Amino acid sequence: MKLRLHFKPVLFSLCLVGFGLQAQHAAPNLLPQTDNQKPPFMGIYEGLPSQIGLVNEYAAWLNRKVVWGHGSQGWQTWEAIANAPWLFKPWSAWVNALPGRRFVLSLPMLPKGGPDTLAEGATGKYNKSFQSLAKHLIEYKLENSILRLGWEFDGGWYQWKVMTPEDAKNFTAFWQQIVKTMRAVPGAEKLTFCWNGAGENKKFPLEAAYPGDAYVDFVGLDIYDKTWAPGVYPYPPNATDEQRLTCQKKAWEVISSGKYGIRAWCDFAKAHKKPFMIPEWGLWRTKGQNMQDGQDGKGGMDDPYFIQQMFNFIHDPANNVYEAAYWDSREAKVIPTGGKESQYPNSAELFRKLFSLPAAPQ
C-alpha cells in the first residue's frame, strides 16, 4: 500500500460472533494447506527489519514453521535503491536460518520526489543502479527473492505511477531495461519479477502497461476491504448485523468482480499463463475512521465475511494463486503480534480457524 503481500475439501459453517448466526461456506475442492511446501504459499508483510520478529510470531499464531516475509526497499536516492545493507542483512539472516523461507521485496523504480522519469529509465539511463542492486542481493544471499518491481504502478501515489498511455509505454520499456540488466548479472538467475497493480481504474487497458511475458514471472494485485462504490461503506448508523453483512457482500462484489477487481487481474494472469500473486491483502479502515461505527471511512473494518472470501479465493485451484501475504499494518491489524491485541477480534478468530495448521499429536 501507499506508505502512509493447503486445505482438504471442506464446507465451513461458522458462527460469527457479533455478526449474527450467518453461515459462511467455503467453496468446494479447495487446495490443501501445507506448511509452505507448495502453492498457495503464505506470507506476511511486516516491512522493516525491526519487525522480522513479528513474522515469527505470526507463524506461531497459526501453528506454522514457515511463512514468507515481505519488505520494502527505501527510495530516497539512487544509492538507497542500489544498496540497502540495513534491509538486506537482517532479512538474509532470517531467510537463510530455515529452509523454505523466501523474501518478497517491494522494489522502487525511481527515487522519491526527484527529477528522474520513466521516459529516461526507458532509455537505460538508470541501469547501473539496478545492476548494482542485483549484485548486492546475491552478496546477501537473497538471490531467490521475488521482486515487486514498481508495485502499485496503476495508483497515483508513487514516482513510477502510470496515469496515461504515454506513461504506460515508458513504464513497460523501463521495466524491460531493469529486468534484462538484473538477469544479466551472474548468479541472479533465480530472481523473479511480479507485475503488481493496485486495481485502480484507468482509461487504457491493462495490456498497455504490461511489459511482456518474457519479462514477467508473476501477475499480482494488492487487495483490501475498502471501496468508494455508493451504498456500501460506511455502514449505516447503528447498523444491525444483517445490514453490516449486506454491506460486506456488496463490497466483496465490487472488490472481486469490478472492471479492475481481483477476478479481472486473475483472468489476465491466466491469459498470459502466469501464476497469480496477492502480495498485500487485508481489512481496512480509513484514517480517522471510528472503530465502532465507521461513519467517516470507506473500509469494512471487522469483516469476517471478507476473510472467508479471501480464504476461498486463495485456495481455489482455478485461481492459480502462487502466494498471498497479509498486510499487518495499523489499518489492517488483525493479528495479535508485538504485544498488541487484534483490532478486529471477530475477523481474527475466523482468520486463525481458517489459516492455522492442525496441532501436531502429542
Residue 277: phi, psi to the nearest 5? -120, 150
User: Contact at 8 Å (CB) between 353 and 14?
Assistant: yes
Query: What are 192-250's pLDDT values in tens digits?
Result: 999 999 987 777 788 999 999 999 999 999 999 999 899 999 999 899 999 999 999 99
Q: Span 90-97, mean pLDDT?
A: 97
Radius of gyration of the chain (CA): 20
- Residue 269 vs residue 11, higher pLDDT: 269
Give the bridge partners for 70, in sequence order. 45, 104
Residue 341: its pLDDT value, please?
84
pLDDT of 15 strictly over 60: no
User: Contact at 8 Å (CB) between 65 and 98?
Assistant: yes
- Kindly indicate the confidence band of residue 24, based on its pLDDT and cuts at 50, 70 and 90: very low
Residue 14: its pLDDT value, please?
34
For cell 544498496, name the residue. 83
Residue 17: its pLDDT value, please?
36
Helix (H) / strand (E) element for 335: namely none
Considering the entire predicted model, what is its pTM?
0.89
d(CA 278, CA 314): 9
pLDDT of 22 strictly over 60: no
The yes or no reply on domain 108-216 and CATH 3.20.20.80 is: yes
Residue 253: phi, psi to the nearest 5? -60, -45
Mean pLDDT, the chain, as a whole number?
88
Q: Which three cell numbers stand for residue 39?
A: 502453492
From 58, 66, 68, 71, select the one nearest 348 (Cα to Cα): 58
Give the bridge partners for 146, in sequence order. 104, 192
d(CA 344, CA 334): 5
Residue 340: its pLDDT value, please?
82
User: Contact at 8 Å (CB) between 84 and 61?
Assistant: no
pLDDT of 25 strictly over 70: no
Q: Which three cell numbers stand for residue 179?
A: 529486468
Phi-psi region of 164 (alpha: psi -120 to 50; beta: other; left: phi over 0): beta
pLDDT of 5 strictly over 70: no
**pLDDT cut 70: percent of the chain above it:** 88
d(CA 194, CA 22): 37
Helix then strand then coil, % of the chain, to nearest 5: 35, 15, 50
Give the bridge partners for 43, in sequence order. 68, 325
Q: Name residue 136's amino acid.
A: H
Query: What are 61-93's pLDDT values in tens digits?
Result: 999 999 999 999 889 999 999 999 999 999 999
User: Contact at 8 Å (CB) between 132 and 88?
Assistant: no
DSSP assigned state of 207:
G
- Please state the domain extents for the chain: 1-72+218-362, 108-216
pLDDT of 362 strictly over 90: no
User: Contact at 8 Å (CB) between 40 and 322?
Assistant: yes
Query: What are 130-139's pLDDT values in tens digits?
Result: 999 999 999 9
DSSP assigned state of 213:
G
Q: Span 262-291, mean pLDDT?
A: 88
Burial category of 273 from C-beta neighbours within 10 Å (exposed 0-12, middle 13-18, buried 19 and up): exposed
Q: Span 9-25, mean pLDDT?
A: 36
Strands (E), 276-350: 276-282, 321-327
Residue 325: phi, psi to the nearest 5? -125, 125
Residue 28: its pLDDT value, please?
58
Give the bridge partners for 292, in sequence order. none
Task: Kindly tell me the sign of the dihedral angle through the C-alpha atoms of 229, 231, 232, 236.
Answer: positive
From 221, 224, 192, 195, select the one nearest 208 (Cα to Cα): 195
Cα 123–Cα 127–Cα 129 angle in degrees, nearest 5: 140
pLDDT of 60 strictly over 50: yes
For cell 551472474, name the residue. 186
